[in-house]
A and B are shown apart, each in its own frame.
Chain A
Amino acid sequence: MAQKVTIEPVTRVEGHGKVTIHLDDNMNVVQTRLHVVEFRGFERFVQGRPYWEAPVLVQRLCGICPVSHHLAAAKALDVIVGAGTGHGLTPTGEKMRRLMHYGQIFQSHALHFFHLCSPDFLLGYDADPAIRNVVGVAIKFPELATQGVLMRKYGQEIIAVTAGKKIHGTGAIPGGINKNLSIAERDALLNGPAPLNIDKMIEWADAALQLFKDYYMKNRDFVDNFAYFPSNHLSLVRKDGALDLYHGVMRAVDAEGNKILNDVDYQEYYNYIEEEVRSWSYMKFPYIKHLGKEKGWYRVGPLARLNTADFIPTPMAQKEFEIYKAHTNGKPNNYCLHTHWARLIELLHSAEVIRDLLRDPDLQKDDIVTKGTKKFEGVGLIEAPRGTLFHHYKINENDQITMANLIVSTTNNNEPMNQSVNFVAKKMMNGQATITEPMKNAVEIAIRAYDPCLSCATHALGKMPLDIKLYNAKGDVLDHYRS
């Protein structure tokens, strides 16, 4: 009798999803699926609204990464107001946006490391879940927990001074920004009293990276053999091949490093990317068109970005990038848990970029908006903390939005997350009649490596207890666990 085990929801990821693991008569895993409840109504909701409202409206979508949606929408609308893309903005406009974006990356990556990732490896993947969290870290490693809290705080302060406020920031507008950075704001971030200054943030980011590397050297077998599978990788890169999280061209490489999207203009992303609908998930499955559904799926996010980029344009992160790349002899890295390593290199890079931007006098200039000839369609891409984020809008002659299409980072990682779940389920659950805590946690670790935001619901929505169901081949529930 074939059986199906349902683990719902996955803990420590945003929104809610459930994992079903199908067992055959011999209790071997035959199929796994990560089901995601994702709200798709937003794209219809913005239709009819004036286009200039979009950068603020899209923040209603998600309270987790509102800055990414804010900036992706603003980039799309730069095209519509005739300001072009990327360097079409004034230097002050572009650099203020970059500061906002790298501040968001910094605080998001710090959160993931200290809050979601470090409890697993500092306290042990098999530690009691009740203590395997940042409070558990605070008890055992108080200095580290304090650093995590203050790195988050520093990143949030960058967002506050660039976006204007914490909620529904208005910093980015079509064609530019609505404020520059004052001398007082700059000095507070650059040379504020310790530890809340950029030099300390760089020091702590580097220390977090070294901590992970130490763990890796002691646990190499576990890290390397956890959910390894080859895949394609996609991200933006700067035109010269550098890592660039704000702007660039679309590049994708296969598992061997061959370019399968060769630095194409993202304004025509729809010529290269297709989205597949599957009946069992609300979340679509994007793939590279010319490779087809089976071979065209790809990863996005830190692992993918360090696979597509040729180099990192800041010195400390570049040095770490070279160490990281040497591990795979320069070839793409397909080790799922190395995503944490890549994320920490990006954390360090973000801190270096923030320092360089804060020292740039362009941030105090007053030329902040670019105008041009209006267009009726625009696409904005940005490398959000979790990966490539697509915003695409069309407007009519009354300046109303007539079409919106969003492909969020977690949607891009839909198939890779399913692949990861499948890998660990087959490795740990074959022949098992029950789900043990280590098994459940292994599935969660595999998903958590992608830092997914499974639902764009707010905190008041989507609360759900842990729910485990066991089905037979007829669909009957054999067992049901609910926390």
Chain B
Amino acid sequence: MKTLIYGYGNPGRKDDGLGARFIELVDNWIANEEIQNIKTDCNYQLNIEDAAVVAEYDRVIFVDASVAEDVIDFKLENITPNDASIEFTMHAVSTAFVIELCQKIYNKLPDAYNLHIKAYDFDFIEELSPIAESNLYAAFGFLKNYLTSEQ
């Protein structure tokens, strides 16, 4: 299964960099293990062109910082395509919107997941808070096991 792991967020805003840091960990893992079927991408935020990116994969896992109350340390959940899940900040779009657009334009529907990692601090510093960093490694360990177990 061809898989894309896509981190997003602004690493210059402390814990908002969780997505980018996660991708660094995945890139090292891919390089060390010479994994061929997992690719990565990373950006400040998602936008409409990402519909073309995810259309090339069987599965996509978006990784992002989260302040949601139901995310304790990290949480993996399915994405249901949804064009109504538009945030008012329409210079960026949601993961559900990307998948919906992919389906509408390219007639493809990859298995799609959000990996939310709990974030706490969004100051103008390029480093993670200690507790966010702990969540990062926990989430990475989980996803690595998850993907390895199906190899």
CA distance A400 to B106 in the complex (A): 50
Residues of B within 8 A of A260 (CB): none
CA distance A11 to B84 in the complex (A): 13
A 143-187 contacts with B by CB, 8 A: 145-146, 148-150, 152-153, 156, 166-168
Residue of chain B at shortest CB distance from A44: B124
User: Cβ of B25 < 8 Å from any Cβ of A?
Assistant: no
- Residue of B84, B97, B104 touching A139 (CB-CB under 8 A): B104
User: Cβ of A142 < 8 Å from any Cβ of B?
Assistant: yes
Q: Which of A13, A111, A134, A466 has the most CB of B within 10 A?
A: A134
- Pair B88/A464 contact, Cβ less than 8 Å: yes
User: Cβ of A116 < 8 Å from any Cβ of B?
Assistant: yes
Interface stretch of the complex, out of A213-221, A261-269, A455-463: A455-463
Residues of B within 8 A of A466 (CB): 88
CB distance from A279 to the nearest CB of B (A): 25
- Pair A59/B12 contact, Cβ less than 8 Å: yes
- Pair A458/B9 contact, Cβ less than 8 Å: yes
- Pair B47/A152 contact, Cβ less than 8 Å: yes
User: Cβ of A63 < 8 Å from any Cβ of B?
Assistant: yes
- Residue of A41, A63, A114 touching B10 (CB-CB under 8 A): A63
CA distance A224 to B67 in the complex (A): 44
CB distance from A430 to the nearest CB of B (A): 27
CA distance A156 to B41 in the complex (A): 13
CA distance A290 to B10 in the complex (A): 40
User: Cβ of B42 < 8 Å from any Cβ of A?
Assistant: yes
Contact with A along B46-65 (1 / 0, CB 8 A): 01110111000000000011
CB distance from A204 to the nearest CB of B (A): 14
Residue of chain B at shortest CB distance from A444: B88
User: Cβ of A478 < 8 Å from any Cβ of B?
Assistant: no
Residues of B within 8 A of A64 (CB): 44-45, 91-92
CA distance A107 to B13 in the complex (A): 24
User: Cβ of B71 < 8 Å from any Cβ of A?
Assistant: no
CB distance from B109 to the nearest CB of A (A): 14
Q: Which of A45, A107, A111, A133 has the most CB of B within 10 A?
A: A133
Chain A interface extent, by class: 35 or more
User: Cβ of A130 < 8 Å from any Cβ of B?
Assistant: yes
User: Cβ of A241 < 8 Å from any Cβ of B?
Assistant: no
Given A63-B45, A135-B101, A168-B12, the answer on whether A463 and B87 have CB atoms closer than 8 Å is yes
CA distance A12 to B91 in the complex (A): 7
- Residue of B48, B66, B67, B92 touching A134 (CB-CB under 8 A): B48
Given A133-B86, A166-B43, the answer on whether A150 and B13 have CB atoms closer than 8 Å is no
CA distance A150 to B67 in the complex (A): 32
Residue of chain B at shortest CB distance from A10: B88
Given A45-B124, A135-B83, A135-B100, the answer on whether A60 and B13 have CB atoms closer than 8 Å is yes
CB distance from A131 to the nearest CB of B (A): 8
Residues of A within 8 A of B90 (CB): 11-14, 115-116, 133
CB distance from B59 to the nearest CB of A (A): 20
- Pair B12/A149 contact, Cβ less than 8 Å: no
Contact with A along B122-135 (1 / 0, CB 8 A): 10101000000000
User: Cβ of A136 < 8 Å from any Cβ of B?
Assistant: yes
- Pair B88/A149 contact, Cβ less than 8 Å: no
User: Cβ of A332 < 8 Å from any Cβ of B?
Assistant: no
CA distance A463 to B65 in the complex (A): 13
Residue of chain A at shortest CB distance from B87: A463
CA distance A202 to B9 in the complex (A): 31
Q: List 29 A-B contacts (CB under 8 A).
A: A9-B88, A11-B88, A12-B88, A57-B12, A60-B13, A63-B45, A64-B45, A134-B101, A135-B83, A136-B83, A138-B101, A145-B104, A145-B105, A146-B105, A148-B48, A149-B52, A150-B49, A153-B49, A166-B44, A167-B10, A167-B11, A167-B43, A168-B12, A458-B9, A458-B122, A459-B87, A460-B10, A460-B65, A463-B89
Question: Across chains A and B, which 9 residue pairs bring their CB atoms closest together, nearest first?
Answer: A60-B12, A63-B44, A135-B83, A152-B49, A153-B49, A12-B90, A138-B104, A458-B10, A14-B91
Chain B residues at the A interface, C-beta cutoff of 8 Å: 8-13, 16, 20, 42-45, 47-49, 51-53, 64-67, 83-84, 86-92, 97, 100-101, 104-105, 119, 122, 124, 126
